[in-house]
Structure 1
Amino acid sequence: MISALMPNYKRADLAFEHGNGVWLTASDGRRYLDFAAGIAVSSLGHGNPKLVKAIAEQAAKVMHVSNLYRIPQAEELAELLVKNSFADSVLFCNSGAEANEGMVKTIRRAQYENGHPERTRILCFDGAFHGRTLAMISATGNPAYLKGFGPVVDGFDHAPFNNTNTLRSAITPETAGIIVEPIQGESGVKPATESFIKALRAACDEYGIYLGFDEVQTGIGRTGKLFAHEWFDVKPDIISSAKGIGGGFPLGAVLATEELAKHLTPGSHGTTYGGNPLACNAGIIVLNEVLTPGFMSHIQAVGEAFGKMLDDIVQHFPHIFDSVRGMGLMRGLHCIPPAGDVMAVAQHHGLLTVSAGDNVLRLVPPLIVTEEECRMAYDLLITTAQDLSSTQHPQQEKIS
């Protein structure tokens, strides 16, 4: 008989009872070093006292009232985001896919209200991942995600990632905007180049279309800036955010300039749960922590040190890993053996990771991780590589 849970996830036979910081404890009592963070979600780690307290206190007061009424917690969180970003206004929702849907709708609505109803198409890029709704699997364009779900939702075009030569030829009179990930996460932790991002901004300005960044995975400090697009010194028109913004509590957001946001008038878009008091209270705690002086520099310093550790692993085990990708605390090791096998061996040794496309092992620890804890992950990856080497390359050099 089929499980009570639908079989759409390939789950490890592992369940966790509690966590503390960057550690998770399984039901059998074994501790694991968590460099998966719920797929880049648990930004403040597990059991963060401030976050736990805020959620508990808000839950005891009021969790949900709907957007029929003012929500002071949403207003406070929106003000924090606006004060610390390019944006003038924020829409809250529940997930990354919903945030990306909201971004697409806002772009289309703004073009319509500005007298360009023909501009409905969104230009995305090969290797993208924008979510699992019907529209967002079409925006993603990956045949594996589209298979079996009927006709592709129209309105999305694709061009090569990091290729400025093909960019302008992909823009048509029906193009409303461009959406791009500053670092493609699911397809293998592939960073955009600065020249590519700046070319996108220039093309959008030239053609009168909008530039959107999918910052679902890269945002809220993951790369050492509040949002990854800040590294390129390029101002977007709109972005999506989710994952780390709630520290583990479901929350998503669309941040936009007034030029776009003003067109989402009453009745044009909505969500039942989005921006509820409980989620936004969690978001306030997370954002205040991430914006604390020194927090971003901590991510940058630890991320740089961790990157050097990963480079060292590649140097000593070139038949297991051949390159390091990413920045800050969003890193990927390109694997020679199947990444799933590497992930399983790492888990066996007590390190939790995430696989990604292009045979990449993704490492996205909580943002509070220390250099010492990164060194522990490094040691576990060394042990993992040595285990894999025992059958592939018995004479592999040892590392002290």
Structure 2
Amino acid sequence: MSDANWKVAAERDLMSLGGRPRLFESGSGSYVTDDAGREHLDFLGGIAVNSLGHAHPVFVSAVAEQAAKLAHVSNLFASQPQLDLAARLKRLAGTGEDGRVFLANAGSEANETALKLARLHGNPRGKTAILSLAGAFHGRSIGALSITPKAAYQDPFAPLLPDTRTIEPTLDALEHAFAADDVAAIFIEPIQGEAGVRELPDGFLARARELTRRHDALLILDEVQTGSGRTGEWFAFQLPGMLPDGELPDAVTFAKAVGAGFPLGGLITFGRASDLFAPGMHNSTFGGNPLASHVADRVLAHVEDEGLLANVTRRGAQLREAVSALPGVSGTRGAGLLIGIALERPIAADVVAHALDGGLIVNAPAPDTIRIAPAFTVGDPEIEDFIRRFGDALNAASQSSETTA
């Protein structure tokens, strides 16, 4: 299909909810190929989703083998892949025996589940406030959107969920928010991906854990983007300095990288939070289906068996060092292979456009920030290719901005 024809078809048949500058037809490893046969280096990974890259043999074989057995039986029944995945997630998250897992389809659905968990905990105690942080992104469904404080996203759909409050990600704001003693839960991304890969202040998560314990509130971590190995640990709360030794959250949401491209998300609970849901209170038709569960379990097993978390840590450090040396870059943020590249000027949108023209996929979560989230399997050849293509895009965008200034 010609460039003009597929764009006409997209405009005619799809809802206008986002730009579609390319039509991709195939992928292999860290590269995808468009309808014109042009290869692009994918360093966004489907927005932190494609943990094993494209068409990885483990992913392909897992889909094929389970599809040939049993794809879906509804949540009225159990399946072995579902049980295997839940047990693995509990072990990786360190929940112990009292942990529980709810399997869903995506991050927004996982956070909707967590919001219901917060209400179940808070309502009997007369605590109704649900806190989130400025710059947070928890999803587009109404509940998740209510704790995603961005006017452009929220305003068209108001009124949203009542008694949700936004606080600045500072220790002073955190202390003040708990002073009224009416908080049911606080939702926190250990690293804010959509805000520009922003890290929390030192000691913030540890203090949130102290305050939620003192005020009988839940600490709920949104690890949709940071979880499943993206930061070099299975979950970002396990990174050094996040939580004191022995401390755990009450709940963690996850999605994205866990399925390596197959839709799956969910909620992991710890301790007292595992006893809140009763039969009939919540469920999902497709959540935990055998096909999605088997794929995710095989993906996590491969990451674990092949030691890919070590590669995530090593390659993340390598990328940050290399990119920091490029002209126009003022620094980097993030952990592992979730990296925010801070630019000296707010030209991120132009950098993304020039990058795409040069066969590189990245995105701009903020005017002065480029986000990259490549596959856990990335190595020297891909990193060298990225630095070359990204350097060219940065240079082109810089020259363009100087010409129009």
TM-score, normalising length: structure 1: 0.92
For residue 320 of structure 2, what is the amino acid of its counterpart?
A: G
2:374 aligned with 1:365, yes or no?
yes
Structure-1 separation of matches of 2:172 and 2:399: 45
Structure-2 separation of matches of 1:110 and 1:40: 31
Which residue of structure 1 lines up, in the alignment, with residue 173 of structure 2? Answer: 166
1:220–1:227: 8 Å Cα contact kept in structure 2? yes
Which residue of structure 2 lines up, in the alignment, with residue 156 of structure 1? Answer: 164
CA RMSD of aligned residues (A): 1.6
Q: How far off is 1:78 after superposition?
A: 0.3
2:223 aligned with 1:186, yes or no?
no
Structure-2 separation of matches of 1:110 and 1:71: 29
Secondary structure at the residue paired with 2:295? Answer: helix
2:358 aligned with 1:345, yes or no?
no
Structure-1 separation of matches of 2:161 and 2:100: 28
1:58–1:277: 8 Å Cα contact kept in structure 2? yes
Structure-2 separation of matches of 1:308 and 1:155: 43
2:349–2:367: 8 Å Cα contact kept in structure 1? no
1:334–1:358: 8 Å Cα contact kept in structure 2? no
2:383 aligned with 1:382, yes or no?
no
| Distance change >3 Å, CA 169–CA 337, structure 1 → 2 | closer
| Distance change >3 Å, CA 247–CA 293, structure 1 → 2 | closer
Secondary structure at the residue paired with 2:15? Answer: coil
Structure-1 separation of matches of 2:263 and 2:400: 42
Which residue of structure 2 lines up, in the alignment, with residue 305 of structure 1? Answer: 318
After superposition, the C-alpha distances for 1:132-183 in whole angstroms (9 at most, x for unaligned) are 011111101211101221312213111101x101212112332111110011
2:242 aligned with 1:229, yes or no?
no
2:105 aligned with 1:105, yes or no?
no
Structure-2 separation of matches of 1:354 and 1:276: 32
Secondary structure at the residue paired with 2:157? Answer: coil
2:217 aligned with 1:209, yes or no?
yes
1:309–1:375: 8 Å Cα contact kept in structure 2? no
Which residue of structure 2 lines up, in the alignment, with residue 398 of structure 1? Answer: none
Q: How far off is 1:293 after superposition?
A: 5.3
Structure-2 separation of matches of 1:142 and 1:385: 28
Structure-2 separation of matches of 1:30 and 1:42: 20
Secondary structure at the residue paired with 1:63? Answer: coil
Which residue of structure 2 lines up, in the alignment, with residue 268 of structure 1? Answer: 281
2:248–2:270: 8 Å Cα contact kept in structure 1? no
Q: How far off is 1:340 after superposition?
A: 1.6
TM-score, normalising length: structure 2: 0.91
Structure-1 separation of matches of 2:166 and 2:397: 38
Which residue of structure 1 lines up, in the alignment, with residue 333 of structure 2? Answer: 325
Secondary structure at the residue paired with 1:52? Answer: helix
Secondary structure at the residue paired with 1:3? Answer: helix
Which residue of structure 1 lines up, in the alignment, with residue 5 of structure 2? Answer: none
After superposition, the C-alpha distances for 1:327-354 in whole angstroms (9 at most, x for unaligned) are 2101112232432211010111111112
Structure-1 separation of matches of 2:227 and 2:378: 17
For residue 292 of structure 1, what is the amino acid of its counterpart?
A: D
Which residue of structure 2 lines up, in the alignment, with residue 120 of structure 1? Answer: 128
2:115–2:143: 8 Å Cα contact kept in structure 1? no
For residue 172 of structure 2, what is the amino acid of its counterpart?
A: N
Moved more, 295-304 or 322-331: 322-331
2:102 aligned with 1:91, yes or no?
yes
Structure-1 separation of matches of 2:267 and 2:289: 15
Structure-2 separation of matches of 1:10 and 1:204: 41
Secondary structure at the residue paired with 1:211? Answer: strand
- Out of 293, 296, 302, which is 1:283 matched to? 296
1:107–1:260: 8 Å Cα contact kept in structure 2? no
For residue 169 of structure 1, what is the amino acid of its counterpart?
A: H
Structure-1 separation of matches of 2:397 and 2:156: 36
For residue 310 of structure 1, what is the amino acid of its counterpart?
A: V
For residue 100 of structure 1, what is the amino acid of its counterpart?
A: N
Structure-2 separation of matches of 1:194 and 1:155: 28
- Out of 203, 206, 209, which is 1:195 matched to? 203
- Out of 251, 259, 266, which is 2:272 matched to? 259
1:86–1:236: 8 Å Cα contact kept in structure 2? no
Structure 1 residues 25-40: aligned runs within 5 Å: 25-40=33-48
Moved more, 329-338 or 50-59: 329-338
- Out of 142, 165, 169, which is 1:134 matched to? 142
Structure-2 separation of matches of 1:167 and 1:389: 39
Q: How far off is 1:323 after superposition?
A: 2.7
Moved more, 65-74 or 379-388: 379-388
Secondary structure at the residue paired with 1:153? Answer: coil
2:324–2:330: 8 Å Cα contact kept in structure 1? no
Q: How far off is 1:372 after superposition?
A: 2.9
Structure-2 separation of matches of 1:385 and 1:51: 34
For residue 283 of structure 1, what is the amino acid of its counterpart?
A: A
Unaligned runs of 5+ in 2: 1-7
Moved more, 172-181 or 244-253: 172-181
Secondary structure at the residue paired with 2:398? Answer: helix
For residue 396 of structure 2, what is the amino acid of its counterpart?
A: D
Q: How far off is 1:392 after superposition?
A: 4.8
Which residue of structure 2 lines up, in the alignment, with residue 397 of structure 1? Answer: none
